[in-house]
Amino acid sequence: MQIMETESPGAAPFRGVDVIKDNLTRLPAKPGVYRMYGDADEVLYVGKARNLKARVSNYARLGGHTQRIARMIALTRRMEFVVTESETEALLLEASLIKSLKPRFNVLLRDDKSFPYILIRRDHEAPQIKKYRGSKQDQGDYFGPFASAGAVMRTLDTLQKAFLLRTCEDSVYNARTRPCMLHQIKRCAAPCVGLISTKDYQDLADEAADFLRGKGADLQKRLAREMEESADAMDFERAASLRDRIRAIAHVRGSQDVNPDDIEEADIFAISMEGGISCVQVFFIRAGQNWGASAHYPRHERDQTAEEVLSAFLAQFYDKRPPPRMILVSDMPEQAELIAEALSLKASRKVEIRKPERGSKKDLVAQATRNASEAVTRKLSETASQARLLNEVAKVFELEKPPERIEIYDNSHIQGTNAVGGMVVAGPEGFMKNAYRKFNIKDTTVEPGDDYGMMREVMRRRFNRAKKEREEGDPSNWPDLVLIDGGLGQLNAVIEALKEIDLTPDDVTLVSIAKGVDRNAGREQFFRPGRAPFKLPENAPVLYYLQRLRDEAHRWAIGAHRQKRSAAIGKSPLDEIEGIGPARKKALLHHFGSAKGVSRAKVADLMEVDGVNEALAERIHGHFNGG
């Protein structure tokens, strides 16, 4: 791979076609990737080519371009090139750069979060089953991807009933002295307290793994035989337990939204386009089972075709994901053979892209296409409604144009403890959940319960970063409107925080929204710097919209606070003492009943616990008694 410098030393700055013509004199006839930059070094477009010189020369000719391409050429101020060994390598690099740089004129896969998996951990004598996202670093068996966290949680819920595997973390497992509630409701075999042998529990984990690998039918038959044998032997309790497990397995197998028939492993992509909006519906088939569906709305221009959009979508979709052996599509993407070759190289095995013409595979694609079409219709309706609301927001707050990015802030705490600030973001397409942020309050000078101090810290941190990004030529995350949950006091606190980083209300449109004296929805007052407070008519649609924004920020902040509080509750004071691991912690809690009991114990009493010598006993006693 070779990176090429493209600027001409001493030359006057070029624009548009002149930039392209100047670069052509130095380009090789080799495969590679090119980038086009505009003013403020904004990345306009990333493309790949089998022959860089021939591809870029197309931009240099006058006329014959679509309006989108002509506008892109006119905005170009410089170009960069990377020469690769092959067009396949160029395709993979192009997809990676598009995802990281998000160029203005490329098709973009939005909301590209990682898909969840089910993990059966194998690094513990009692395997744990849980939802998992991220790189596969933990030792164990991974099953997925699933289309959503909801699909994973529904499957996990039923798997617990069928296989009785633990979901608790190791710290909870090691501290148990008696079975938890999940055992009482028959969702865990309680290996933590020895109610099942290690071998029998690991057999349950193996059965769960077999089921997730598509061997559910064989497992059902075997459990049915065991149930009959138990009934014949008059062991009705075991027979009833096996019956419940069989029902749970049958429920998972019978609740598929899509019947994959003879498909063992495939991803199904169907695209529907209408009114400049497209939806790509994705079905995941693994181990002969449907593991859910997800809808995506890629960003693209109106003049781009389904084949072009789907081509760019597939390359970006699999940038960080392992592809399956088969990809079924509603429309054959541009350069499908090249994409299949690149994905095969990435997966180190053959990957096939097919547009089925008959049979069950065509039926599956047709169902995905119907889902995509219905999703586009809903999206068009939502977008039109959202556009009207944003126009009203612009009128109410005297904005030059409808806001593209609205940020809403709120804080949450209980008497100052576990304080968290929350930011939610909304735009023309609704809530932008991948842009939400949480701020753990870190400033030790902020008094517990000081809402104003917390708001000042959140704003300093948020706009310090946003200001730096804007100065570096990336204004995409700068808000058009900032809504603060609170009254005049919160608004003044925000103004003070912005002054500290050399920003004024002229740089950011600030509005605080406060409930009336009775804290009733519909009586909200709005505060703006230098303006008199005002209210909106109680039945105004724009008021309902602003309430919804405020309530979402409130929900997000409270959720972040509860999460932080739960994590704090799960901690034990014993975790802070050097030399106390899970085994000693469990022994101490078992001996004294609680961490509070440990804190009251004398050194001699502590030494009675297995594994606690005199030095450790003194360390524990000193930790709780200031020694």
Whose structure tokens read 């939400």? 436
Distance CA(83)–CA(583), nearest Å, equals 57
Amino acid at 32: G
Asked if 416 and 561 touch (Cβ cutoff 8 Å), the reply is no
Say what the pLDDT of residue 586 is: 81
Average pLDDT score over residue span 140-146: 85
Say what the pLDDT of residue 305 is: 92
Helix (H) or strand (E) segment spanning residue 590:
helix 582-592
Mean pLDDT computed over every residue of the chain: 84
DSSP strand pairing (352-354 vs 326-329): parallel
DSSP strand pairing (417-427 vs 406-414): antiparallel
Q: What percent of the chain has pLDDT over 70?
A: 91
Amino acid at 169: E
Question: What are the pLDDT digits (tens) for 308-346?
Answer: 999 999 999 998 888 999 999 999 999 999 999 999 998
Question: What are the pLDDT digits (tens) for 490-522?
Answer: 999 999 999 998 888 888 899 999 876 555 556
Say what the pLDDT of residue 572 is: 67
Whose structure tokens read 């047709």? 366
Confidence of residue 1 (pLDDT cuts 50, 70, 90): low
Question: What are the pLDDT digits (tens) for 163-174?
Answer: 889 999 888 898
User: Whole-model pTM?
Assistant: 0.65
**Domains of the chain: which residue ranges?**
16-106, 266-378, 406-558, 573-625
Tell me: domain 406-558, CATH 3.30.420.340, correct? Answer: yes
Conformation bin of residue 433: beta by default, left when phi > 0, alpha when psi is -120 to 50? alpha
Which residues, listed in sequence order, are joined to residue 577 by a DSSP beta bridge?
Answer: none
- Token pair, residue 524, equals 């909200």
Buried b (16+ CB within 10 A) or exposed e, 596-611: eebeebebebbbebee
Question: What are the pLDDT digits (tens) for 409-418?
Answer: 988 866 556 6
User: Is pLDDT at 382 greater than 60 in this prediction?
Assistant: yes
Distance CA(297)–CA(158), nearest Å, equals 31
User: Is pLDDT at 11 greater than 60 in this prediction?
Assistant: no
E strands, 210-274, where? 266-274
Say what the pLDDT of residue 8 is: 43
Pick the CATH number of 573-625 from 3.20.20.10, 3.40.50.1220, 1.10.150.20, 3.40.50.300: 1.10.150.20
Buried b (16+ CB within 10 A) or exposed e, 88-100: bbbbbbbbbbbbe
Say what the pLDDT of residue 352 is: 94
Average pLDDT score over residue span 468-486: 84
User: Is pLDDT at 2 greater than 70 in this prediction?
Assistant: no
Distance CA(317)–CA(297), nearest Å, equals 12
Asked if 193 and 179 touch (Cβ cutoff 8 Å), the reply is yes
Least confident of 142-146, 147-151, 247-251: 247-251
Average pLDDT score over residue span 177-185: 90
E strands, 174-229, where? none
Cα→Cα distances 181→108, 372, 395, Å:
46, 42, 55
Average pLDDT score over residue span 434-441: 86
Question: What are the pLDDT digits (tens) for 199-240?
Answer: 989 988 998 888 888 776 777 788 888 888 888 888 887 788
Same fold, 266-378 and 406-558: yes
Q: With CA atoms as reference, report the closest residue to 71 among 108, 104, 32, 33.
A: 104
Question: What are the pLDDT digits (tens) for 595-621?
Answer: 778 888 888 888 888 888 888 888 888
Pick the CATH number of 16-106 from 3.65.10.10, 1.10.3210.10, 3.90.190.10, 3.40.1440.10: 3.40.1440.10
Q: How does DSSP classify residue 518?
A: T
- Could you tell me where the DSSP H helices lie in 322-421? 336-347, 359-396
Distance CA(163)–CA(129), nearest Å, equals 10
Cα→Cα distances 361→184, 295, 328, Å:
44, 19, 8
Asked if 45 and 37 touch (Cβ cutoff 8 Å), the reply is no
Confidence of residue 589 (pLDDT cuts 50, 70, 90): confident
Pick the CATH number of 266-378 from 3.30.1490, 3.30.420, 2.40.128, 1.25.40: 3.30.420
- Token pair, residue 422, equals 């929350």
Residue 251: count other Cβ atoms within 10 Å of its Cβ: 13
Say what the pLDDT of residue 467 is: 87
User: Is pLDDT at 627 greater than 60 in this prediction?
Assistant: no
Question: What are the pLDDT digits (tens) for 256-312?
Answer: 445 555 788 899 999 999 888 899 999 988 877 778 888 899 988 888 899 999 999
